[in-house]
Amino acid sequence: MKRWTALFLTVLLCFSLSFTCHATEQEEPNETTEHPDTTEYPDNPSKEPDIVSDAAIVMDATTGQVLYEKNSDVGKYPASITKVITVLIALEHNLNLDQVVTMSENAIWGIERSSTNIGLDVGEQLTIRDLMYATMVNSANECAYALAELVGGDVKNFAKMMNQKAKELGCKHTHFVTPNGLHDDDHYTTAYDMALIMRAAIQNDQFREIAGTVSYTIPPTNLTDESRPLWTGTKMINPANPYYYEYCEGGKNGYTTDANNTLVTFAKKDGLELICVVLDCDGLKYTFSDSKALYNYCYNNYMYFYPLSDFSFSTDENETEDKNYILNNYYNSLNHELINLSVDKNYCMLIHKSTDTTKIEKQINLYDKATDNALGEINFLYNGETIGSTPITNGSAALSSLIGNTKDDEEVVTNTPFKSTLLRIICILAGIVILFLLVTALRRIVQEKRRNERRQRYTNEHRRRRRKKRKYKDNDYYF
């Protein structure tokens, strides 16, 4: 009896160990009662919170400005937040979301069966929309695999597409191998790179909708009569969850034993949209508390500032008159109104709330030569340091094409009255020469025609005289 009991306990222990080594989305229990906790400082809101996550970042979704970072360039395993770029690439291929997809054997058996999935089977059919929602909402690994096969043909080729997309977005320390984030030693990213990926993803309205979905139901399929209700793992967007954060609009969480807990979210408050990434966090609940603390810190300390909302070049006329090389060198002699210097009055900067905006200086720089449609730039300085910049463009459509092709190595020709008169004279002389050549050619043609007519008359008269001397007999003739 003891031997059978020992055998049973051994089998049970092996099963439990094999289960925990695979990717899941569950919180790991804390082993000690002295586990560090997320700490905020409400009495000192300018002080950064203490977080549990080993790497984190908060980025402004509009400007890309980093407001907080901790080990943001250190390579980490992303786990299931990988699915953000998987769904983004699929959406960018403009697929018909109602298209039906049949689950392949590789999609079903190409993942660890103990990892997160929704229990699909080989040959089961569902729509691309179902695949996308299952991938983001429930973190279904087989659905991410199916999307990769659909878009890339196979997972290996899709991984190339993922890495190419990451490179296009400016990621420098990222390499993807799988579409679902199941562990691979060569599958890694950083908090900064992951923020860049999410920043690109939320530009897509369909992605925002999917990433912000609390629950989704997959209807019955060809292999089952039962529907599959799915619930998001991003508890910060679920009002019924204690980790709910009212300003969070969407996100994706992940977990593997090697990656630990990971989370990427986006939130918006008072028009300020931020992206938060936390990686390598010991405990699922701390990914939410860390993110919430970081959002609170940034919203309490940063705001948008619109330095050009009431700006006009006329108010800075004395400052720009002597520096306006473009106007003085190229366009003063043109027979039309001068170019219309224009700036984006909606240009904004993200600044600390303690910043004295009255001390932000505008430095107007106009170029010697136009580049594309940029005539110059306005730099914003605070305590001698540049904190922002925006281009000065041309608001005149008539001149846009003229200055748009000016190159740095091309000589700019001044349009003076003398050169205009000379050009007219050259055109008149060229016209006279062309007319003379045409008249000469026409005379030659007429003369040649007359000579041909005279030759023809002479030939006909000669033939007529010879016929009179001929004697005909039947069909023969003799001289």
Catalytic residues: 80, 83, 139
Helices 141-152 and 83-92: crossing angle in degrees, nearest 10, is 40
What tokens appear for 156 in the block? 């290996």
**Cα separation, 67 vs 70, whole angstroms:** 11
**Cβ(140)–Cβ(134) below 8 Å:** yes
Strands 361-371 and 374-382: antiparallel
The single residue listed with the structure tokens 């001068």 is 338
**Cβ(106)–Cβ(177) below 8 Å:** no
**Cβ(179)–Cβ(44) below 8 Å:** no
CB atoms within 10 A of CB 54: 16
**Cα separation, 186 vs 86, whole angstroms:** 17
- In angstroms, the Cα distances linking 37 to 68, 286, 288 are 19, 7, 12
Task: Mention every residue, 6+ apart, whose C-beta is less than 8 A from residue 250.
Answer: 202, 208, 210, 211, 212, 213, 234, 237, 265, 266
**Cα separation, 51 vs 270, whole angstroms:** 25
**Cα separation, 105 vs 84, whole angstroms:** 24
Please give the full DSSP string across 104-127, using - where no structure is assigned. Answer: PHHHHHSS-TTSS-----TT-EEE
Q: In degrees rounded to 5, what are phi and psi of residue 131? A: -60, -45
Please give the full DSSP string across 323-356, using - where no structure is assigned. Answer: T-HHIIIIITTSSSPPP-EE--TT--EEEETT--
